[in-house]
Structure 1
């Protein structure tokens, strides 16, 4: 298979999540990624979560696939010389050292630019590297709090709630990968490299998206709706007689079909208060009080069939393990099993059903 970044070499000096995620995305597109780690400690995430073999974890492996790892002591002249030699053979460098950290080692952008002007150098930090908080370390949970993301997550009666995954780190890694791809494209026209600076706080603020714009428009925090949508009703997680399901009524025609054909409440479809989404949103509590008891009367599978027949997007609420091992995941070939050189095959491999590869 020909991948678009074949022939591109990435030098990954980053650790933990945001930087390694960026480099991994580039590796997924075909780039050769060389990960530089400390000879004694390695990447911090080698010690986080479920153990795989002797020196790896599920966390580490989830952000470092398609890479080769080399240990280099950057505090020594020999280690710095090795990195400079690798830079001369590389197209991209990704790093998330504290502001000024690599400059002290002779490996900052300006120093390496003099060595290789066409180098694309991506610096990932917690905060603006030219601002007053440049020296602060960046941690996903802290940024989720400071960027207002925890304040829009969870039920109204709860304390602010973090996302289930490190969303700021992951989005920052994706934004960084996008910027690197843009810089690689620019280099084909200009022959010049570029210094990319990506801050977790900036990315965390950006992913507030429409919530952020509503907060500016309202001049206050928008309400929290938990699993419901802030502006579309009914849209969220609902209880059936035997389990939760997701129902997303996206427009007025869908609501009419939902009321008449699914829950058999034509009076709701005829009610002037509920004929438009704006009206349904304004009368959210009254409408949900009428809908929720109706949904609890029926089994989930029955509701899913009725909703699908009515053309209303819907789905089960699965556990993570259920989703990963579902027929949908299997037929989409989203999981690939490989034998680990130390740990061997994963423990679930023997119980998994065979999955064909694309070349079968």
Structure 2
């Protein structure tokens, strides 16, 4: 099978994506965005679980599925059948990378574990994604983003101080795990060029969830307890956060003392605040935020957002509107960047698909393939990679294997 764009960074790399739901498919999509040929294996009837989650697109897709499966082919295969397992092993031999997120031991039961697939293939790069450390006491526990958000302390650091623990709006642990997984695969591909040997990349949701606590996590260790929660405000920079103007919310980020002086003088017309000894330094502003922020709130609430944004921009203070999700996706900024595309769909006519975020040499990487309908690439992949005849594929379909 030829790569539609041989100039892409990962052109010539082939990936077998055995994963489902979010973290694994995200890893595969990142590699596909960068030019790899990604073959996604799915159950012939059900497909990926997310084909049945959320807003439907046609008869086999949803917005959820489409958000993590662009630039892939779909091959349907019943991995519970011996014939299906053999086809999967044959496909793996034609691939550089295998991604899987089966329950612990599940890949091995199917004959698709790392040690089983690497026999005679020392250059195979194999990425296992699990909930917890595969060598630890919780190896067999299934991993779910929301559970890990709770266990890793992410919910405890999110939201306003008076709120109960709050999850992120998206499955952040899954997404970061997928991205970390893609980074590790890229590193293994780079190393393979020098050594000729592959790697077993192992990613755990809990590990990645703990990593993205970042500076909050280190502060908790240094303090010996949880840092305060500030919601949309910043724990150490004031004023920095979301404020309500007379006609809508905006973000104001005053990053240093000179900006604060300009903010007080030129934006909210309160030079007395800049002259107040309590607020001259950021350390002082943070210590006295309970006094300062209500004053700023009142001044911002008296003015319209457009006026404030114009003044903030003129003063060199980073700022922006707070938009609704649909507003952001349909904004001129998103359109100018080419971030939202419409892709052809055999049933819906067309459907929106986000473009990859990467730019190389000034050009955004393309959506080479829209998210696939279930089984879209089965015939072509099996014929071109495994040299199966039409008659053989027809028998496999009759037997429910593909």
TM-score bracket for this pair, using the shorter chain length: over 0.9
Which has the bigger relative contact order, CA under 8 A and spacing at least 6? 2
1:155 aligns with 2:154: no
CA deviation digits over 1:157-178, x for unaligned, max 9?
1111000001000000000000
1:111 aligns with 2:122: no
Partner of 1:237: 242
Partner of 1:19: 24
CA deviation digits over 1:23-68, x for unaligned, max 9?
0000000000000011222100000000000011010011000000
Partner of 1:168: 173
Segments of 5+ residues of structure 1 without an aligned counterpart are 349-356
1:234–1:126 distance in 2 versus 1, CA, 3 Å: same
Is the contact made by 2:232 and 2:241 (CA closer than 8 Å) also made in structure 1? yes
Segments of 5+ residues of structure 2 without an aligned counterpart are 354-362, 366-402
1:44 aligns with 2:49: yes
Instruction: Let me know the Cα RMSD of the aligned residues.
Output: 1.5
Aligned counterpart in structure 1 of residue 214 of structure 2, from 181, 189, 209: 209
Partner of 1:83: 88
1:51–1:79 distance in 2 versus 1, CA, 3 Å: same
Deviation of 1:264 (Å): 1.2
1:252 aligns with 2:257: yes
Partner of 2:302: 297
Number of equivalent positions: 351
Is the contact made by 1:118 and 1:187 (CA closer than 8 Å) also made in structure 2? yes
CA distance in 2, matches of 1:81, 1:178: 29
Aligned counterpart in structure 1 of residue 14 of structure 2, from 9, 14, 20: 9
Partner of 1:279: 284
Partner of 1:195: 200
Partner of 1:352: none
Deviation of 1:135 (Å): 0.9
1:227 aligns with 2:232: yes
Is the contact made by 1:94 and 1:122 (CA closer than 8 Å) also made in structure 2? yes
Is the contact made by 1:12 and 1:94 (CA closer than 8 Å) also made in structure 2? yes
Partner of 1:261: 266
Secondary structure of 1:337's match?
strand
CA distance in 1, matches of 2:196, 2:322: 50
**Could you tell me the TM-score, scaled by structure 1's length?**
0.95
Bigger shift: 33-42 or 14-23? 33-42
Deviation of 1:358 (Å): 8.1
CA distance in 1, matches of 2:30, 2:39: 13
Bigger shift: 160-169 or 265-274? 265-274
1:347–1:174 distance in 2 versus 1, CA, 3 Å: closer
Partner of 1:177: 182
**Could you tell me the TM-score, scaled by structure 2's length?**
0.85
Is the contact made by 1:6 and 1:32 (CA closer than 8 Å) also made in structure 2? yes
CA distance in 1, matches of 2:193, 2:104: 29
CA distance in 1, matches of 2:266, 2:59: 57
Partner of 1:69: 74
CA deviation digits over 1:265-292, x for unaligned, max 9?
1111111211111111111111102111
Deviation of 1:346 (Å): 3.6
Aligned counterpart in structure 2 of residue 136 of structure 1, from 141, 166, 176: 141
Deviation of 1:336 (Å): 1.2
Is the contact made by 1:153 and 1:162 (CA closer than 8 Å) also made in structure 2? yes
Is the contact made by 1:88 and 1:115 (CA closer than 8 Å) also made in structure 2? no
- Which segments of structure 1 move beyond 6 Å, counting only runs of 4 or more? none
Bigger shift: 332-341 or 116-125? 332-341
